[in-house]
Chain A
Amino acid sequence: MLKELGLKTIDELFTDIPEKVKFKGKLNIPGPFSEVEVKRRIAKLLEKNVSSMDIPTFLGAGVWPHYVPAVVDTIIGRAEFLTSYTPYQAEVSQGILQAQFEYQSMICELTGMDVANASMYDWATSLGEAALMAARLTKKTEFIIPYFIHPERKAVLKLMSEPAKMKIIEVKQDKETGQINLEDLKTKISKNTAGIYIENPSYLGFLEEKVKEIGEIAHENGALYIVGVDPTSLGLLKAPADYGADIVVGEGQPLGNSMNYGGPLLGIFACKEEFVRQMPGRIIGLTTTKKQNQRAFCMALQTREQYIRREKATSSICTNEALCAVAAAVYLSLLGPRGLKRLGEIIMTKAIYAMKKLKEIPGVKVPLFKASHFKEFTVNFDETGKTVLEVHKKLLKEGVHGGKIIKNEFPELGETALYCVTEVHLKEDVDKLVNSLKKVLEV
């Protein structure tokens, strides 16, 4: 091949790199290793981890343990999906295009929205994009969020909205019930409010009841209503569209995607049809072919996207989480409406069983808020005389990983952790948690 290029050595292919910038040394990187060596090395390192399959683990808070049916991995492991690129050539990419269209459609069915995009990086970045989209649509710059929001989501929102000079305002939540304080909301909303954002279920696991009223307050003031959801709750809970949401965001990881130490995740983003031109991200559309007028799929509304609109694009997102979206479509197809509803009931059954059992332990307060809870709930240790960190460390010694310590996030909640129970938790896991806690607390 060199000869055909009229060259003698490989080095001649790099004569355009000036000597001054040529890297003369050798990269300080181990290897090359054989396949067997790489496999053993990585297996050995990963073996050091103790996963939620090894010990009962009660963590949620943004990434949740759910069972991934074998079918999901079989499908997304298919090389034609796994090793394909963004479907720029629609005619040879109908498979992934249709699968993503189906994902979008299923998210629309869950949320009641008309349009969903083909995915964002995660819930946090979906929220950031939703705030920017609300600002573009309303030409306003204030954005109201609940006080009890995931601190990482809040941080990402603040980062993403700061260059657009947006102001993030927190609305109070009732100490007893966790519910959004409507009076406070009314004082904080103004003619400058681009959007009100709520989460249902909330970060701390309780359900927000006045969802319709909050939406009305938003709309009366010319603001958009943005709702954040855990999709596993939507077999049981109302679609956000039914209580007035304009944009729905959320985390799709629970739908057939493993936790993988926090990534990849799957940012859900859906909205009403009227807002679609300001939507960020890739959208797949159903159309026809030119000659035979057959059904076909392709990327739609590309003039919103960075590679066409450049600095005027609605977002910079390009590579998204397409394969995670396909996993979600496969997962939702397997469950169907009845399966999704049953999933919600099973999760709630197990979570409520855990809450009731934990409640029996003297000094343990579960949950802190008088409200319905879905799969997460607060566990408070104030009256046990032990700090939540002490409890956590001792539980670990018993072979149980407790919930996420939230003491530093919300100090007023005291010695509190956020626990999560889903369909993957066996009764024995919860019983072990309860018995270990009793031992740790010496009761």
Chain B
Amino acid sequence: MSFRQARWNEPLIFERSKPGKIGFTLPEPTKEEKEVAGNVVDSIPKSLLREKPPELPEVSEVEVVRHYTRLSQQNYGVDLGIYPLGSCTMKYTPKITDVVVNTHKLRDLHPYQDEELTQGILQILYELSNYFAEILGMDKVSLQPSAGAHGEYVGVMIMRAYHALNGELDKRTEIIVPDSAHGTNPANTTMAGFKTVVVPSAEDGTVDLKALKTVVSEHTAGLMLTNPNTLGVFENNILEIAEVIHGVGGLVYYDGANLNAILGKARPGDMGFDIAHINTHKTFSTPHGGGGPGAGPVGVKKELEKFLPVPTIEFDGKRYYLDYNRPYSIGKIRGFYGNIAVLVRAYAYILLMGAEGLERVAELSVLNANYVIRKVLKARGYTLPYKSENLRKHEGVISAKQMMDETGVRALNVSKMLLDLGVHAPTNYFPLIVPEALMIEPTETESKETLDELINAFIKVSEEAYSNPKVVLEAPVNTTVDMVDDVKASHPKTMRLSWRMLKKYGEAK
């Protein structure tokens, strides 16, 4: 393949700085404003006045534009090609969703504006929360969490509030998490003051029911689970799992990372889950922006509604309003009401898709995943652990363990050579229970032709691994830089985490 990524050798913008340059003209106050205000700097107490200006770069507008444009060209986005990051789910975002938010009617709207002036946005948010509730099979949804992990946090804080109200918080100290779970699950368990109890997966990749029964007790506050799970396997005994947890008085939390696979096919609320979150960038096609902003709406069943964070958005038949008067609420989870510009994109996406379109998302994402996995497995060195003869849902985890044993090529090397071949790599080394994991999720927005390119890239890597492993081990060579040393980035002696540290210690050699 002839793929080459841009290489600009672009310096830090600080290194482009020339004293005296400036990239933007500010609106100067009028003469009268200046006269009335006087010398404002004199009014600042000496003890607070900055003596040395911050060492920001001094550059012109066009230099700023070129610098960041060049940087952007050294970046891979889903608009450039397939991004099969299992569990992270990067699918194409329809451009219209970016267009609809680009209006001063949203951008210049202040969250504390009088509700009479914000009926439009409140209606959108109200309707969106209802659509999400319908999709999740939940009774009420809060749009506030800023990201999926934040939604999880809100979910476990609701568990906490529920047990506290029942007078059982001292007793219920544990949250159960499968060994295949996302790292955010145990991290949020800790943030909410609970202890994580890990339950192993059975041979078929689902939660080991027997093991689950041995770890539940009166100390169980709840279970966090995604379904399909991170292996891409549907937890077909989900009703029984929920029953086990409910049986000891715990709550069941749905990690919505993998909702894409079951849209319109099954709903967390119908599977026995009490709380569920959504990652809007995964399932509802909002752009991820290189790491955010995201949005992580969280839905609950009726009996947990009262715990949702304040404010909720309500409609009294005539007008929409923000309701802070909720005495059992867990309280505030962030400033204001959520990542609104992201949520409006999700609203646009849902309207574009409709009910049938959303169901079609599940169908195509599952079809595409199985097609890719089945074909990749035909190449030497890749295996499919857990229930290997069965279908996967939206994603699947292939192991490169055999390839490593036979050729020395690890999952990481496979990924790096895929980058050389012009496709983004799958997720590496997750879930932790699969050795040399390559977690592939093509999503529903890729054509068969693109999937075939991805498959061919996997096959090509396998062929090279078995014929000329050195080529794979030396990858990547077609990317902006060759393999990055992340150990050096974290070592106390070579850590350079800012321009300031770089100036202080010199280059990390």
Contacts and interface: CB of A to CB of B under 8 A. Distances in A.
B71 A96 contact: yes
Nearest to A279: B497
Q: Residue among A2, A51, A340, A427 with the most chain B CB within 10 A?
A: A51
A32 B356 contact: yes
A295 B27 CA distance: 39
Contact of B50 (A101, A239, A301, A307): A239
A273 B50 contact: no
A105 B291 contact: no
Given A125-B146, A287-B485, A319-B294, A109 B499 contact: yes
B332 A156 contact: yes
A85 B290 contact: yes
A83 interface: yes
A76 B195 CA distance: 40
A335 B129 CA distance: 39
Given A90-B486, A91-B419, A261 B234 contact: no
B247 interface: no
A299 B486 contact: yes
Interface string A167-207: 00000000000000000000000000000000010000001
Given A91-B483, A109-B499, A353-B37, A74 B65 contact: yes
Interface in A3-38: 4-5, 10, 13-18, 20-23, 26-33, 35, 37-38
B405 interface: no
Given A13-B367, A125-B334, A321-B293, A84 B288 contact: yes
Given A95-B73, A335-B24, A238 B49 contact: yes
Interface string B133-149: 01101000000001111
A5 B43 contact: no
A378 interface: no
A92 B262 CA distance: 31
B1 interface: no
B500 to A, nearest CB: 5
Nearest to B94: A35
Interface stretch (A41-49, A140-148, A435-443): A41-49
Contacts of B67: 333
Contact of A282 (B135, B153, B291, B415): B291
B24 A290 contact: no
A31 B187 contact: no
Contact of B108 (A53, A273, A323): A53
B104 A51 contact: yes
Interface in A281-322: 282-303, 305-313, 315-322
B54 A337 contact: yes
Contacts of B482: 91, 289-292, 294
Contact of B73 (A80, A163, A265, A276): A80
Interface stretch (B298-306, B357-365, B458-466): B357-365
Nearest to A301: B490
B150 A294 contact: no
A102 interface: yes
Given A33-B352, A260-B109, A311-B196, A83 B497 contact: no
A305 B186 CA distance: 11
A31 B291 contact: no
B65 A234 contact: no
A391 interface: no
Contacts of B190: 311-313, 316
A229 B197 CA distance: 39
Interface in A373-403: 392, 396, 401
B107 interface: yes
Contacts of A350: 29, 33, 37
B36 A105 contact: no
Contacts of A278: none
A52 interface: yes
Contact of B332 (A88, A124, A300): A124
Contact of A340 (B45, B54, B367): B54
A335 B22 contact: yes
A318 B98 CA distance: 23
Contacts of B293: 263-264, 319, 321-324
Nearest to B118: A49
B480 A91 contact: yes
Contacts, number: 712
Contacts of B490: 285, 300-303
A330 interface: yes
Nearest to A93: B75
Contacts of A104: 497-498
A83 B78 CA distance: 5
Q: Interface extent on A, as a size class?
A: 35 or more
Contacts of B489: 285-287, 298-301
Interface in A47-96: 47-54, 57, 59, 61-63, 65, 67-69, 71, 74-96
Interface string B322-363: 000000001111111111111010011011111111110011
B48 A207 contact: yes
Contact of B184 (A75, A283, A316, A342): A316
A137 interface: no
A116 interface: yes
Contacts of B359: 27
Nearest to B154: A159
B12 A335 contact: no
Given A43-B103, A163-B193, A22 B64 contact: no
A349 interface: yes
B54 A239 contact: yes
B508 A286 contact: yes
A423 B357 contact: no
Contacts of B358: 27, 29
Q: Residue among B12, B58, B72, B192 with the most chain A CB within 10 A?
A: B72
Interface string A120-131: 011111000000
A121 B150 contact: yes
A237 interface: yes
A407 interface: no
B211 interface: no
B292 A46 contact: no
Q: Residue among A46, A50, A52 with the most chain B CB within 10 A?
A: A46
A330 B160 CA distance: 41
B153 to A, nearest CB: 6
A237 B347 CA distance: 42
B149 A109 contact: no
Given A2-B367, A42-B347, A43-B100, A80 B292 contact: no
Contacts of B14: 102, 105
Contacts of A357: 36
Interface in B66-118: 67-80, 83, 85, 88, 90, 92-94, 96, 98-101, 103-114, 116-118
B166 interface: no
B339 A17 contact: no
A291 B484 CA distance: 9
Q: Residue among B61, B75, B188, B363 with the most chain A CB within 10 A?
A: B75
Given A115-B498, A298-B489, A334-B24, A17 B106 contact: no
A106 interface: yes
9 contacts: A22-B265, A59-B113, A62-B335, A65-B108, A71-B64, A124-B334, A262-B336, A337-B56, A342-B26
Pick the 9 closest A-B CB pairs, nearest first. A163-B193, A262-B336, A31-B354, A323-B289, A322-B291, A262-B111, A95-B75, A48-B120, A32-B354
Given A109-B499, A286-B502, 19 more contacts: A5-B371, A22-B265, A49-B106, A52-B113, A79-B77, A95-B75, A102-B12, A105-B499, A115-B497, A159-B330, A287-B508, A300-B489, A311-B186, A316-B184, A316-B188, A322-B289, A332-B57, A334-B61, A336-B22
